[in-house]
Amino acid sequence: MAFPYMEAVVGFMILMYLLETYLDLRQHAALKLPTLPKTLEGVISQEKFEKSRGYSLDKSNFHFVHEFVTILMDSAILFFGVLPWFWKKSGELLVLAGINAENEILHTLAFLAGIMIWSQITDLPFSLYSTFVIEARHGFNKQTVWLFFRDMFKGIFLSAIIGPPIVASIIIIVHKGGPYLAIYLWAFTFVLSLVMMTLYPTLIAPLFNKFTALPEGELREKIESLAASLKFPLKKLFVVDGSTRSSHSNAYMYGFFKNKRIVLYDTLIQQCKNDEEIVAVIAHELGHWKLNHTMYSFIAVQILTFLQFGGYTLVRNSSDLFRSFGFDAQPVLIGLIIFQHTVIPLQHLVSFGLNLVSRSFEFQADAFAKRLGYAAALRAGLVKLQEENLSAMNTDPWYSAYHYSHPPLVERLAALDEPNKKVD
């Protein structure tokens, strides 16, 4: 008797949903606490705390509904054989259109087009509610309905342009890869990631946001001076109009080798009235670069990608696996989708491990900024970002350990203060 792969996958999905719902309930209880953590008393205003509490509880309530609907749909799609049914129907539609359904690439693209349409339709109510109800209620949403749908259709158009060549390449590689298939698939995705990392900030991101050079002035001089002191090869310094969509703030850097760029959200500049706070945030980001965190993370992703492809090559010809999910044929893309479902347990463990590493990196980057003399400014900047973004002030330790890639503010401030306490 063949192993019931599909039933095992659905069972684990439900088990993980129950576990994560338990953690969500713990976090919800923490969010309902009426007082600030002791370490934030006198640091965060009571007014900001109440606003943060209301925003976090709204998001938490929405999350419960969204996750419940998602697990119902995902389980039903697998359990009732919706994927094999849709694969069959997409082939029939190609035949009706006079297209050869035996061509796996065309059949796969038709299948993916239907999946994308289904995903957009089912996710649209949640996206609209999140953006125009929750985010708007708490003063974050700045985009119009027209801008929302324009972005959505731009994303669909880009997927329609970029997706088919990638899908076709993967199918061809799998059919011709032979014993070195895992290496070829990894090499393809490695090159693809480098290309996308190059094209996204220069060609794709500007389709959605406007990037302008940071004007000459004291802030620009301080950032350039800091970058020069660390021998960071800063080529361009941009401000992005994040305020056209949201009042949330951020900063990031990108670029290869000697061609680095730093991008500041205009909301970050507006919220941090003190230039030193902004420079301290940049010092933290430069700490990630100086300590090679970005490189380590990239290498880790490449190793995990190679291992995943290695695992896929071991099961891609398993007729029992395909039949368990209702497929008589063994299309390449379907094999990848099924394999991703079967390794969900490992993915959860890997995600948990990566979050642990990420939190460690954040503490290290904070310590790096502190060594540069930005402890007070970084502390003030972190508090300001926490306040302005209405981030959760009270967090459950189990929830944050499982979900957070960044340490809670309380832990980051404690780490920044700790050496001073020792000195005292």
- The secondary element (H helix, E strand) that includes residue 151 is helix 145-176
Q: Would you give the distance in Å from CA 263 to the centre of its chain?
A: 18
Alpha helix positions (H), 252-292: 266-271, 275-290
Is residue 284 annotated as involved in ligand binding? yes
- Examine the residue annotation and report whether 417 is marked as an active-site residue of this protein: no
Q: Is 326 left (phi over 0), alpha (psi -120 to 50) or beta?
A: left
The amino acid at 172: I
* Distance between CA atoms of residues 60 and 31, nearest Å: 9
Residue 208: what are its φ and ψ, rounded to 5°? -110, -30
Report the largest interatomic distance among the alpha carbons of the chain, rounded to a whole angstrom: 80
- DSSP secondary structure code for residue 27 in this structure: H
Q: Is 175 annotated as a binding residue?
A: no
Token pair of 302 as six digits = 């490449």
Q: CA-CA distance, 160 to 153, in Å (whole number)?
A: 10
Query: Residue 47 has which token pair?
Result: 């007014």
Token match 């999350």: residue?
Answer: 63
Q: How far apart are CA 190 and CA 196, in angstroms?
A: 10
The sheet that has 211-213: what strands, in order across it?
Answer: 211-213, 234-240, 260-265, 251-254
Q: Give the Cα-Cα-Cα angle 239, 200, 333 (nearest 5 degrees).
A: 150
Specify the amino acid at residue 338. I
Answer yes or no: are the C-beta atoms of 148 and 73 closer than 8 Å. no
E strands, 255-333, are 260-265
Single out the catalytic residue among 24, 104, 285, 411. Answer: 285
Q: Tokens in use for 4?
A: 């019931």
Among the listed residues 240, 223, 241, 245, the one whose alpha carbon sits nearest the alpha carbon of residue 232: 223
C-beta separation of 17 from 71 below 8 A: yes
User: What element of type H or E holds 213?
Assistant: strand 211-213
Q: Which of 366, 387, 396, 411 is catalytic?
A: 366
Is the Cβ–Cβ distance between 344 and 16 less than 8 Å?
A: yes
Count CB atoms within 10 A of the CB of residue 230.
Answer: 16
Tell me if residue 366 is catalytic: yes
Is 406 annotated as ligand-binding? no
Which residues line the annotated binding site for Zn(2+)? Answer: 284, 288, 362
Active site residues: 285, 366
